[in-house]
Structure 1
Amino acid sequence: MLVFSRTTGYRHDSIPAGVAAFRELGTEHGFSVHATEDHRVFTEESLAGYAAVVFLSTSGEVLDDTGRAALEGFVRGGGGFAGVHSASGTEPDWPFYGELVGARFAGHPEIQAAALTVEDPDHPATEHLPRLWAWTDEWYNFAGNPRPSVRVLASVEESRYRGGTMGADHPLVWCRPVGAGRSFFTALGHCDEAYLTPEFRRHLLGGLLWAARLIDGEQQR
């Protein structure tokens, strides 16, 4: 797996904790992890050696034209993609990336406690979670609702916290096919503590392995 965490905009302090978590998950579950912030790794030849690419709290424009073409070809050709937290605020002017992630970041209120509603308990990223998952994070708002084109795994009722702008339907975790590949996105993961939490680590693991086609959960709803 390739874990990419380059930032040209806001940089999350939790990136090192996230990288460490993915490396530990790889050790525990039998896959190798290459963590980098070097965008030059995004070539057709290099990506051919990976099952999936993770954008871990990336921000701003992080790829050049060669890298964009390589990532699009990789996913459309059957590779996996997993976006974490501010991955949704990355590559704002690249249309394919918006399709890949599923929605564009549009701000957030202060960090606070709330609870997600797990809508799909059959997916590997959410099968271990309670129906109402109490969590503390930045509750991302998005420029559009992705539900018409994705499989929503978890959402939040805005009455449970302050600062939501999407109304009655506010997805936060979803997945979708993209060409022959798969894309998984979770808006969670702002704080260091998240990456030390067993249920969040299993959430990331399930999403990543699903995207890489290394685990079941194939039905699209």
Structure 2
Amino acid sequence: MGAVRDVLLALVSGAAGWLVVLISLSPRLRWSPFVSRTERKNGVTYRVKVKNASRFRNVVDLRVRARVHYRHTYSRTGTTVTRTVYLGTSPEQVHVLAPRANQIVRIDPGRISDRGRALLRSSGYQAASVDSLETLLTLLPEAFLSLHVVANDGWSGSTRFTESPHYRMDALEDAAFVVDRSDLDKRIRAFNRWRQRLGQRWLLRAARGHPELQPKLRAHDAES
């Protein structure tokens, strides 16, 4: 019984530790509740903003993919399935997102994957006629846009998959994002910049005890 109790205790402790890492030491991302739609000279731009909500930890190696999900019903069997069309995003990867920093992700409906074009054709739509996000969200049944992100925590290294809200047609707004930050964010970002400068000074000071890291003096410099 003692051995069984020890095994169960180890399993419970491991699960509890895993939950602590998952909840407290995993990337915390927050999304804008709408898709910004702005008209420019070269066309319409669609943007979503994502923010690192952590106060002290970086989020690293973010990989972003934009998808439009819609319902498709097979005419012969009447079976209904969910289909996914991948869209282009810029950037597709963000190396570091600092604490309380944000990143704007641009969505390009014109960059549909080959598999997505094939799905649209089999659903009765020509990919060439899909020239805007409004077209995708209006023509396709029960369609919505979502962004999928795989990211790592800067401290624990834990990887997390997260998804943005489901943006439907009514989530597109002809509006830009607010630029101003809250006072709390300003103080946190100032503290993190001070912490980074302190760390850089420590790294330079720590190198003094390692002669092989120092520059080699030239002959006339050593004589003088």
> Which TM-score band applies after superposition, normalised by the shorter structure?
under 0.3
Q: TM-score, normalised by structure 2?
A: 0.21
More strand by share: 2
Q: TM-score, normalised by structure 1?
A: 0.21
